[in-house]
């Protein structure tokens, strides 16, 4: 994913202002379209109505429980994915032969679309929390695995040789040199997965339920009789949640890995 972590060379205040203006223009356009009844307000409610409803559901304990349910599945899934992908990536990235064999095995497994597993997981595990978690793990393992392998192969061989010359054993070299050098790449993988995992969690809830969550809440609130604003407010919250998670992860990246050339932006 490019384009998200680019350092802003120009005045950040000016570009933030332009962003605000852009968003305001879009909101005004939606508002105008519905107020002028060019679009049926029953289909697309005015932006102001959507925003007030968004504010209201953010104070609604029932909705907040749903957000909590989605985030819980997200967090568990991410933890399991990282716990699986990082050690595997370290192993596969350390030797050329295992790397070749692994990339080919991955090449065959990765094209299987994550949502295609939804029916299978429902048949095997039912529709509980583990249903969501399994799907999240499947989708978020790949970016972490790829980036870990990539990071391990990017470790400067000279640094490793130097450490060996100083008498460090294999474990110490792995821990103090290789993992440390690969950590920015691993983090990038986790950051990419975080966004994918959230989208997949809500998608799975929308398609098949699976305990309390934003998606199940949206399904319940898209039935006849419930004003459309609620569905749109749910969409707005899930979009904002994705943006917020990405922002946090990018901020963490800049804080943790300011020393690394990829974050500093001098290398490509």
Partner 1 sequence: MSVAGGDAATRPGVAGLGVWLGGVGLRLSVLIGMAVTWQLVTTLVDDPVNWPTFVDVIGRFWDSWASDPDAWLRSLAPSLGRLLAGWFGAVIVGVALGSLIGLSAVARHSVGPIIQFLRAIPPPALLPLFIVLLGIGDAMKVAMILFGAIWPVLLNTVDGVSSVEPLHRETGRVYRIGVRDELTRIVLPSAAPKIFAGLRMSLSIAVIMMVISEMVATVNGVGFELVQAQRSFRNLDVWATIVLLGIIGYVLNAMLAAVEGYVLGWHRGAMRTRS
d(CA 111, CA 99): 19
Size of the residue set binding partner 1 (CB under 8 A):
67
Query: Rounded to whole angstroms, how far apart are CA atoms 157 and 92?
Result: 16
Among 36, 38, 113, 267, binds partner 1 (CB under 8 A): 113
CB of 55 to partner 1, least distance (A): 17
Q: Is 28 in the site for partner 1 (CB under 8 A)?
A: no
For residue 180, state whether it binds partner 1 (rule: CB under 8 A): no
Residue 214: CA atoms inside 13 Å, Cβ hemisphere, count? 28
Contact flag: residue 101 with partner 1 (CB under 8 A): yes
Report the alpha-carbon distance of residue 188 to residue 101 in Å, rounded: 24
Residues 121 to 140: which contact partner 1 by CB under 8 A? 122-124
For the chain, helix, strand, coil in percent to 5 are 80, 0, 20
**Per CB under 8 A, 71 contacts partner 1:** no
Q: Identify whether the C-beta of residue 151 lies closer than 8 Å to the C-beta of residue 181.
A: yes
Of 172 and 243, which has the nearer Cβ to partner 1? Answer: 243
Binding partner 1 by CB under 8 A: which of 238, 249, 253, 263? Answer: 238
Q: Please give the structure tokens belonging to residue 241.
A: 């949640």
Contact between 241 and partner 1 per CB under 8 A: yes
DSSP-derived secondary structure letter, 209: -
In contact, 263 and 257? CB cutoff 8 Å: yes
Shortest Å, Cβ 86 to partner 1 = 15
Instruction: Judge whether 189 and 147 are in contact, CB under 8 Å.
Output: yes
Instruction: State the CB neighbour count (10 A cutoff) for residue 150.
Output: 16
Query: Quick one: 123 or 165, whose CB is closer to partner 1?
Result: 123
- For partner 1, give the closer residue by CB, 117 or 181: 117
Q: How far is the CB of 239 from partner 1 (least distance, A)?
A: 4
The residue within the footprint of partner 1, chosen from 10, 59, 61, 167 (CB under 8 A), is: 10
Structure tokens at 42: 């029953």
Binding residues (CB under 8 A) for partner 1: these are 1-4, 6, 10, 14-16, 18-23, 25-26, 43-44, 100-101, 103-120, 122-124, 146-147, 149-150, 195, 198-200, 202-203, 206-207, 215, 218, 222, 231, 234-235, 238-243, 246
């Amino acid at each position: 994913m490019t384009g998200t972590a680019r350092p802003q060379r120009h005045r950040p205040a000016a570009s933030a202002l332009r962003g605000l203006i852009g968003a305001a223009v879009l909101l005004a356009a939606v508002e105008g379209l519905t107020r002028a009844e060019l679009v049926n307000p029953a289909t697309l409610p005015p932006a102001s109505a959507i925003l007030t409803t968004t504010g209201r559901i953010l104070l609604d304990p029932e909705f907040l429980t749903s957000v909590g349910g989605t985030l819980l599945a997200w967090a568990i899934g991410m933890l399991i994915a990282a716990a699986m992908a990082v050690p595997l990536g370290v192993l596969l990235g350390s030797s050329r032969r295992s790397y070749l064999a692994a990339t080919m095995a991955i090449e065959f497994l990765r094209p299987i679309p994550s949502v295609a597993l939804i029916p299978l997981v429902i048949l095997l595990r039912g529709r509980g929390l583990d249903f969501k978690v399994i799907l999240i793990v499947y989708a978020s393992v790949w970016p972490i695995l790829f980036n870990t392998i990539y990071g391990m192969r990017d470790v400067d061989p000279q640094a490793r040789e130097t450490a060996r010359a100083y008498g460090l054993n294999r474990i110490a070299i792995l821990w103090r040199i290789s993992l440390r050098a690969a950590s920015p790449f691993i983090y990038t993988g986790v950051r990419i997965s975080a966004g994918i995992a959230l989208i997949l969690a809500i998608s799975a809830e929308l398609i098949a339920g699976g305990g309390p969550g934003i998606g199940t809440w949206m399904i319940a609130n898209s039935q006849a009789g419930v004003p459309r604003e609620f569905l749109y407010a749910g969409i707005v919250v899930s979009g904002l949640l994705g943006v917020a998670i990405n922002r946090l992860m990018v901020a963490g990246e800049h804080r943790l890995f300011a020393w690394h050339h990829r974050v500093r932006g001098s290398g490509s």
